[in-house]
Amino acid sequence: MELNPNQVRLMMLQVADAIIVAEPKLSQADRDLGDGDHGLGMKRGMEAVKAQLEPMEPASPEQVLVATGTAMMTSMGGASGAIFGTVYRAGGKALAGRATLDSEGLALFLQAALEGVMKRGGAKPGDKTMIDALAPAAEKAKEVTGQPVADALAAAADAAEAGKEASKDMIAQFGRAKTLGEACLGFPDAGALSVTIMLQTMAAFAKAA
């Protein structure tokens, strides 16, 4: 089972809606670590994504995902815009030439997204950033490339959730949360929460498709 370009577009519209609805939860997660603007930034980014994708008649999954990243990057500004824009732009470009999104494409997307974000931001697993959800999701996707894309997405989403939970026990190395030291223990990274919501929404869409 795989997703055609229009299904990828519809999936990303569902992801946008899920993030917009989650804004209060994302803002609170960010406030717990000393900032507080992550949820509003993500909401603004996803509203721009919706405006971009709603009229689109996509020819490829790459087109949908790169457009998603570009909309986030240009509308959000700041670190989150650059990071989440990179997720979709770098990940989308890894799907060049592919007519559909299958489990192999998912693995390519997540790996390229991870490498793009690590290169851009300098963070690594264990630094209490969104990478702590993205890295295990990418690793899991590589393990399940033979499965239908719905099953691969579900496995990646579960891995991201476990990574997000694990981030509660990490001391932040980046952003304002870095100044908190041990006071940030017990709280998940807000970006890791965003990654988890995105992948869970994708998995639910693919299961119903």
H-run or E-run covering 82: helix 78-93
- Interatomic CA distance for residues 146 and 106, integer angstroms: 11
Q: Which helix (H) or strand (E) holds 108?
A: helix 103-121
The number of beta carbons lying within 10 Å of the beta carbon of residue 70 is: 17
Range of the domain at 10: 5-208
Non-local CB neighbours of 109 within 8 Å, separated by 6+ positions: 65, 91, 92, 94, 95, 101
pLDDT greater than 90 at residue 179: no
pLDDT exceeds 90 at position 158: yes
- Residue 118, number of CB atoms within 10 A of its CB: 18
d(CA 66, CA 163): 25
pLDDT mean over 133-149: 98
pLDDT at 178: 85
pLDDT category of residue 165 using cuts at 50, 70 and 90:
very high
Tell me what pLDDT residue 209 has.
93
CA 104 to CA 67: how far, in whole Å? 21
Supply the DSSP symbol for 174: S
pLDDT at 176 over 80: no
Determine the pLDDT at residue 152: 98
> Per-residue pLDDT averaged across 197-206, rounded?
98
- Give the separation between CA 38 and CA 194, rounded to whole angstroms: 9
Provide the domain count of the chain.
Answer: 1
Give pLDDT tens digits for 37-71.
Answer: 899 999 999 999 999 999 999 999 999 999 999 99
For the segment 97-121, what is each residue's pLDDT rounded down to a tens digit? 999 999 999 999 999 999 999 999 8
Average pLDDT over residues 11-23: 98
CATH number at residue 68: 1.25.40.340
pLDDT of 34 > 80? The answer is no
Task: Round to whole Å and give the CA distance between 204 and 198.
Answer: 10
pTM for the whole structure: 0.96
